[in-house]
Chain A
Amino acid sequence: MELNVLDRDYMCSGHVGCPGCGAAIAMRFLLKALGEKTMMVIPACCWSIIAGPYPQSTLKVPVLHTAFETGGAVASGLRAALDTKGDTETTVVTWAGDGGTFDIGFQALSGAVERNEDFIYVCYDNEAYMNTGVQRSSSTPYGAWTTTTPGQEWKRLRKKNIVEALVAHRIPYAATASIAFPEDLVRKVQKAKSIKGSRFLHIYASCPTGWRIPSEMSIKIARMAVQTNIFPLYEVENGVRYTINYMPKGYLVREYFKLQGRFKHLTDDDLEQIQEMVNEDWELLLRKAGVAMSAAGTVA
């Protein structure tokens, strides 16, 4: 990573994220890439707490905390206001969790990107309502335990494919990124910054607390999600041009699942079924990207 990016931070120590918080790491990387001419809109999410209570703020850029479902709309209004003030330099970023993006904030997000509002919407995805104590969201993956999908009621529904939903809006830029791949993440943020119109970044941000993993595994797990095709790294321009950024080498999803307490109830049969789902999704993505299947490490 370029040293100037490595050395600049717009976040302070002393924030109240859990140990090993992937969302904190994601924010660090985002702001490294964006710099000080950035305004953050943060709807209700873990970061509403992490950022610190009044009168503290852990970020060194302006932050507008806002209601849960308003990420897309508040950013639209903020951008419009800056436009009327002649400020074209500042980048407006909405920073929302998966609940605020996949669920309650989806309408405002869809509305904003349909209008092609000129801002970057970042969903840092920890796959459940973590701030409220690990309740399932439509981002919670198949197989996961949460406090609202306990015991044998574990989630038997697939995770919503949010990127494809956004791609369907034909926005100028949509991409996935992972905290385990900082260079890729920073590059995508900088690329997004250079584009006008609605840009969407889906950042995989592990949650040691909610996933029941040791905090030191935070990055490792995020990396495995990419290596196993569970969370492929790719970008889509103008809703049609797909580029896959990482070609995995055939890691089994089993390895990823077995490290996490939230999946400990799954049987071998369940895991096999999940492997098939992951393969299916991956093959679909490959078809969209126009990549020949044989070249791309699908796990048999």
Chain B
Amino acid sequence: MKKVVEGSHAVSEAVRLARVDVISAYPITPQTHIVELLSEYCSDGTLNARFLRVESEHSAMAALIGAASAGVRTFTATSSQGLALMHELLHWAAGARLPIVMAEVNRALAPGWNIWTEQTDSLAQRDTGWIQLYCEDAQEALDTTLQAFRLAETVHLPVMVVLDAFFLSHTYEPVDIPEPEEADRFLPPFQPAFCLDTENPAAFNQLAPPNAYMEMRRSMQDAMESALDVLDAIEDDYERLFGRRYGAVEAVHCDDADIILVTSGTITSTSRLVLRQLREKGEKVGLVKMKAFRPFPFEALRIHTAHAKKLAVIDRNFSFGAGGIFAQEIRSALCNLARRPLVFGYVAGLGGRDVTTDVIEDIYWRTKTSAHPEAESIWIGLHQPAPAA
């Protein structure tokens, strides 16, 4: 059934369809719409779940750790400061191998207070052991959320479904919402590999001395490494049932491209427009959309970019003292290849500043006209000239 819904509610609908058992959340703009609708669904019986209105994001994640340890399906949503507050428990949830699904609406971190979109909050959690999937539009947000449960429960790792603030979370789009029976066919009830059980008592997560800890970390990495294949298989199923698939990396016109724009989130949509216009002008330009950031899709990225001369990576995020985070990771993914494109790192749209078609086109031409990147990170759209990074 097609419905015009905002991006936040697309996520809410997916959570409803996943028949989640326990939801726990704390209010933060711009995530609130997601849990508000879920709260309504819980209270009117549309969704048979316990909704814990906890006193902090930290407790929201803690509560889900408790719930998921008992072997039920769990969900929360947060943003920015809230995600930062959860940080410790993101490690915990992943280390405990709990298939928690979280919608994370990208928002810039204070100070100063800024509720607009930026990816630094989620990318700063890249080492926590969470799978991170970045969405471009409301439909993808719904589809990815539904898939996230199956992915998490298969590889025993938590999944973060990431959405841009406002551009996605608060934007209404037509979305194809699956019928519950169809969703059930895709997502069977959760069968935990382990859970707290008084019949079979065990202690979870206690002291792991040096002789045991490292193998556990390796087991997490093994799961991460399998996650892309698993996601692929899940998408096969999804496509069969619903006719849609996304891929960990999406490549557009990359086969003959000299310059490839690399984007994530809603900037991808804008870039698609720029791409079409440039192609019409005969420019050999391509587009790579990074959906999966963790696990990092090394293989797909290399295949799609190997023939290009230059990559223009647009980062709506920044790692101080280093650079745009996607650009860094892409550089490191390619550095051992014998033939590799030059990687231009562009930083744009921080704190919700618009990244328009003009900005993206400007990035393309700058890339084309530069023999070499003028800096590690090229900041686009600053009101005053910035010193070279």
B180 to chain A, nearest CB (A): 18
Find out whether the CB atom of B70 lies under 8 angstroms from the CB atom of A81. Answer: yes
B149 to chain A, nearest CB (A): 15
Instruction: Name the segment of A19-27, A62-70, A232-240 touching the other chain.
Output: A62-70
Among residues of B, the one whose C-beta sits closest to the C-beta of A119 is B66
Ordered by A's residue number, 11 sampled pairs between the chains whose C-beta atoms are within 8 Å are: A36-B201, A53-B208, A62-B201, A64-B69, A65-B204, A74-B63, A76-B59, A78-B69, A81-B22, A81-B70, A84-B48
Find out whether the CB atom of A57 lies under 8 angstroms from the CB atom of B72. Answer: no
Find out whether the CB atom of B204 lies under 8 angstroms from the CB atom of A63. Answer: yes
- B27 interfacial contact with A, CB 8 Å: no
Find out whether the CB atom of A62 lies under 8 angstroms from the CB atom of B209. Answer: no
- Give the distance in Å from the alpha carbon of A63 to the alpha carbon of B69 in the complex: 10
- A59 interfacial contact with B, CB 8 Å: yes
- Per the 8 Å Cβ criterion, residues 148-170 of A in contact with B are none
- Give the distance in Å from the alpha carbon of A114 to the alpha carbon of B59 in the complex: 13
- Give the distance in Å from the alpha carbon of A54 to the alpha carbon of B209 in the complex: 7
- Per the 8 Å Cβ criterion, residues 98-119 of B in contact with A are none
Which of the listed residues A62, A63, A112, A114 has the most CB atoms from chain B within 10 Å of its own CB?
A: A62
Instruction: Name the segment of A37-45, A137-145, A195-203, A247-255 touching the other chain.
Output: A37-45
- B196 interfacial contact with A, CB 8 Å: yes
- A111 interfacial contact with B, CB 8 Å: yes
- Give the distance in Å from the alpha carbon of A77 to the alpha carbon of B50 in the complex: 9
Q: Which residues of B contact A36 (CB under 8 A)?
A: 198, 201
Find out whether the CB atom of A111 lies under 8 angstroms from the CB atom of B207. Answer: no
- A277 interfacial contact with B, CB 8 Å: no
- A73 interfacial contact with B, CB 8 Å: yes
- Give the distance in Å from the alpha carbon of A61 to the alpha carbon of B52 in the complex: 25
User: CB-CB contacts of A69-103 with B at 8 A, as 1s and 0s?
Assistant: 11011111111111111000010000000000000
Q: Which residues of A contact B52 (CB under 8 A)?
A: 76-77, 80, 115
Find out whether the CB atom of A51 lies under 8 angstroms from the CB atom of B206. Answer: yes
User: How many chain A residues touch B (Cβ–Cβ < 8 Å)?
Assistant: 46
Find out whether the CB atom of B207 lies under 8 angstroms from the CB atom of A64. Answer: no
A103 to chain B, nearest CB (A): 15
- Give the distance in Å from the alpha carbon of A76 to the alpha carbon of B52 in the complex: 8
Among residues of A, the one whose C-beta sits closest to the C-beta of B208 is A54
A68 to chain B, nearest CB (A): 9
Q: Which residues of A contact B64 (CB under 8 A)?
A: 77
Among residues of A, the one whose C-beta sits closest to the C-beta of B89 is A67
B378 to chain A, nearest CB (A): 40
One of A38, A49, A73, A76 near B198 (C-beta < 8 A): A38
Find out whether the CB atom of B72 lies under 8 angstroms from the CB atom of A54. Answer: no
- Give the distance in Å from the alpha carbon of A69 to the alpha carbon of B378 in the complex: 41
Given known A-B contacts A78-B196, A81-B21, A115-B53, A108 and B69 have beta carbons under 8 A apart: no
- A60 interfacial contact with B, CB 8 Å: yes
Among residues of A, the one whose C-beta sits closest to the C-beta of B205 is A65
Q: Which residues of B contact A49 (CB under 8 A)?
A: 207
- A135 interfacial contact with B, CB 8 Å: no
Q: Which residues of A contact B204 (CB under 8 A)?
A: 62-65
Find out whether the CB atom of A39 lies under 8 angstroms from the CB atom of B22. Answer: no
Which of the listed residues B56, B70, B88, B201 has the most CB atoms from chain A within 10 Å of its own CB?
A: B70
User: CB-CB contacts of B7-26 with A at 8 A, as 1s and 0s?
Assistant: 00000000000000110100
One of B50, B59, B203 near A80 (C-beta < 8 A): B50
- Give the distance in Å from the alpha carbon of A245 to the alpha carbon of B308 in the complex: 80
Across chains A and B, which 9 residue pairs bring their CB atoms closest together, nearest first? Answer: A111-B55, A77-B66, A77-B63, A73-B62, A73-B59, A57-B203, A81-B70, A70-B62, A78-B66
- Give the distance in Å from the alpha carbon of A81 to the alpha carbon of B88 in the complex: 22
- Interface residues of A, dominant DSSP: mixed
Find out whether the CB atom of B207 lies under 8 angstroms from the CB atom of A84. Answer: no
- A17 interfacial contact with B, CB 8 Å: no
User: CB-CB contacts of B50-79 with A at 8 A, as 1s and 0s?
Assistant: 101111101110111111111110100000
Q: Which residues of A contact B201 (CB under 8 A)?
A: 36, 57, 59-63
- A48 interfacial contact with B, CB 8 Å: yes
- Give the distance in Å from the alpha carbon of A39 to the alpha carbon of B50 in the complex: 19
Q: Which residues of A contact B92 (CB under 8 A)?
A: 66-67
Find out whether the CB atom of A64 lies under 8 angstroms from the CB atom of B59. Answer: no
A79 to chain B, nearest CB (A): 8
One of A54, A60, A107 near B59 (C-beta < 8 A): A107
Find out whether the CB atom of A53 lies under 8 angstroms from the CB atom of B202. Answer: no
Find out whether the CB atom of B66 lies under 8 angstroms from the CB atom of A76. Answer: yes
- A110 interfacial contact with B, CB 8 Å: yes
Q: Which residues of B contact A72 (CB under 8 A)?
A: 59
Find out whether the CB atom of A37 lies under 8 angstroms from the CB atom of B68. Answer: no
- Give the distance in Å from the alpha carbon of A112 to the alpha carbon of B59 in the complex: 9
Find out whether the CB atom of B196 lies under 8 angstroms from the CB atom of A53. Answer: no
Given known A-B contacts A80-B22, A108-B55, A67 and B62 have beta carbons under 8 A apart: yes
A265 to chain B, nearest CB (A): 35
Find out whether the CB atom of A70 lies under 8 angstroms from the CB atom of B59. Answer: yes
One of A41, A48, A52, A84 near B66 (C-beta < 8 A): A41
Q: Which residues of B contact A77 (CB under 8 A)?
A: 22, 24, 52, 62-68, 74
- B212 interfacial contact with A, CB 8 Å: yes
- Give the distance in Å from the alpha carbon of A63 to the alpha carbon of B70 in the complex: 11
A51 to chain B, nearest CB (A): 6
User: CB-CB contacts of B106-142 with A at 8 A, as 1s and 0s?
Assistant: 0000000000000000000000000000000000000
- B49 interfacial contact with A, CB 8 Å: yes
Among residues of B, the one whose C-beta sits closest to the C-beta of A38 is B198
Q: Which residues of B contact A83 (CB under 8 A)?
A: 50
Q: Which residues of A contact B196 (CB under 8 A)?
A: 39, 62, 64, 78
